Amino acid sequence: MIRKYDEKTLEPLPLDLPPGTREHVLIPSDEVIFHTNDHPRRLWLKNEKQPLKKKGNGRPIHCCDWITETIGRLALSPEQITEQAQKNEGDRLKSMEARKIIYPGKNHDAWWDLKQLRDQTKIAADIFEYTHPGTVGIWIFDCSSAHEGLAPDALNVNNMNVNPGGSSAKPMRSTIIPLNNPPSKPGQLDTRGMPQDMVYPADHPNQKLRGLPKGLKAVLEERVSVWDELMTRHNGKVSGKCKRCKTSQVHQENLQNNYPA
């Protein structure tokens, strides 16, 4: 259960928790990049004078932080910092705040990788547990490309070929066919809710397919109703990434908005 607040005073309202439940706290995360040559959009200038601006954006400053409704920024209070200082070094938190600032660029800080993101999230989680004992944190991350790190066997269509195997295909874990797939036709097998392997078994009748990652076509065929829908709409044609998907995100947005590339 998430705590509610008075609409006028913004003070937290009493929380009546049912037995066996705990308060849930939202923890949104956000990242922002500043540049040394960022300028205000409006300037006071004398008549016929032009602002002198740098041509480039300059070095970036990357800031990542977490914000809560309960204490604001996910950080220790001065009293809690004093309490931490009195503990043995091995028992202290690694950081007194979750915010992380880096200065990426050549000969400077490297951009975050998946390991650094995990380490920083662990620090934030430890601070949350210390500042919010007995509660449950609901972590909300934005859509930064830094969060696209997936497990090696994650269900990622980008790791699949149209046909089985291939040098770019990667084995993926098994899944459950979604219940919201199209219903099957009369007399056909209803595959909704059934388990589905993404790799052919070692005892598959076709020896050439044993242990190979299944392709898009085979996965869709096994789902029966999805394959029937594809046959109806596109005559059963299965393609990988289309030409538009391979373009940059900026180019895709321009195409969507009918802007020139």
Q: Per-residue pLDDT for 203 more than 90?
A: yes
CA-nearest of 108, 113, 137 to 124 is 137
Q: How far apart are CA 246 and CA 18, in angstroms?
A: 51
Question: Is there a single domain that holds both residue 20 and residue 138?
Answer: yes
Residue 157 lies in a domain: yes
CA-nearest of 115, 113, 226, 124 to 179 is 226
Q: How far apart are CA 226 and CA 238, in angstroms?
A: 12
Of 43-47, 212-216, 240-244, 256-260, which one has max mean pLDDT? Answer: 212-216
Residue 46 lies in a domain: no
Count how many domains the chain has.
2
**How high is the pLDDT of residue 60?**
86
Q: How far apart are CA 152 and CA 174, in angstroms?
A: 13
pTM for this prediction = 0.53
The angle formed by the CA atoms of residues 95, 98 and 101, to the nearest 5 degrees, is 95
How many angstroms separate the first and last alpha carbons of the chain?
47
The angle formed by the CA atoms of residues 145, 113 and 155, to the nearest 5 degrees, is 60
Question: Is there a single domain that holds both residue 237 and residue 254?
Answer: yes
The whole-number average pLDDT for the span 201-225 is 91
More confident residue, 58 or 239: 58
Range of the domain at 201: 151-261
